[in-house]
């Protein structure tokens, strides 16, 4: 087996690490969501059954997406052909979800009835600044989806996942 047959493209490794970090952050957010729902005495989530069921369903959906992401990370490191399609699908979901969220936050900033300041500790902060920061963050995360869609469509990357002696 030659060196070329066992070498993974560097971008695949970087993408797998990025996806693993995103999944780890997602697991943290999901755990905090469950903690807020069940463990806190005066929870942020109201004690209304319909609201709690909705939050539980969203947490379960998030858990399924995170398990899918971890499964994809494993497949990427093994250069499994299905993993390329999986990260393309995750990239499309990432672009759609975070892109729409970013645009929505930018549109929310323009509402005339939006309060200008919110209290934070001993001071205040402009809500438009917070919304802009969140929109920029979401935009950057959406660009990760663009990167995955473009990179995993390149010919040399498709060849790496073709399964023609590229088992590692």
Q: Which helix (H) or strand (E) holds 124?
A: strand 123-126
Residue 7's pLDDT is 76
Paired residues of 117 in beta bridges:
126
User: What letter does residue 47 receive in the DSSP assignment?
Assistant: S
Burial class (CB in 10 A: 0-12, 13-18, 19+), 145: buried
User: Which pLDDT score, from 0 to 100, does residue 164 have?
Assistant: 63
The pLDDT score that the predictor gives to residue 65 is 95
Question: CA-to-CA distance for 145 and 122, rounded, in angstroms?
Answer: 38
- The tokens for 153 are 């469509």
Residue segments in the chain with a per-residue pLDDT below the cut of 50 = 1-5, 165-168
Gap between the Cα atoms of 124 and 127, Å rounded: 9
Residue 110: its pLDDT value, please? 85
The model's pTM is 0.81
């Amino acid at each position: 087996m030659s060196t070329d047959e066992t070498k993974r493209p560097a971008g695949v490794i970087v993408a797998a690490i990025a996806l693993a970090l995103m999944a780890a952050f997602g697991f943290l957010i999901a755990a905090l969501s469950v903690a807020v729902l069940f463990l806190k005495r005066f929870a942020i989530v109201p004690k209304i059954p319909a609201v709690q069921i909705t939050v539980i369903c969203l947490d379960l959906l998030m858990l399924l997406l995170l398990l899918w992401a971890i499964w994809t990370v494993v497949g990427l490191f093994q250069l499994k052909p299905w993993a390329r399609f999986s990260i393309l699908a995750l990239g499309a979901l990432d672009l759609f979800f975070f892109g729409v969220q970013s645009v929505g936050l930018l549109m929310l900033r323009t509402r005339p009835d939006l309060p200008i300041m919110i209290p934070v500790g001993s001071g205040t902060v402009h809500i438009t600044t917070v919304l802009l920061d969140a929109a920029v963050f979401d935009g950057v995360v959406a660009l990760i989806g663009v990167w995955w869609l473009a990179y995993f469509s390149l010919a040399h990357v498709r060849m790496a996942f073709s399964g023609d002696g590229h088992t590692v």
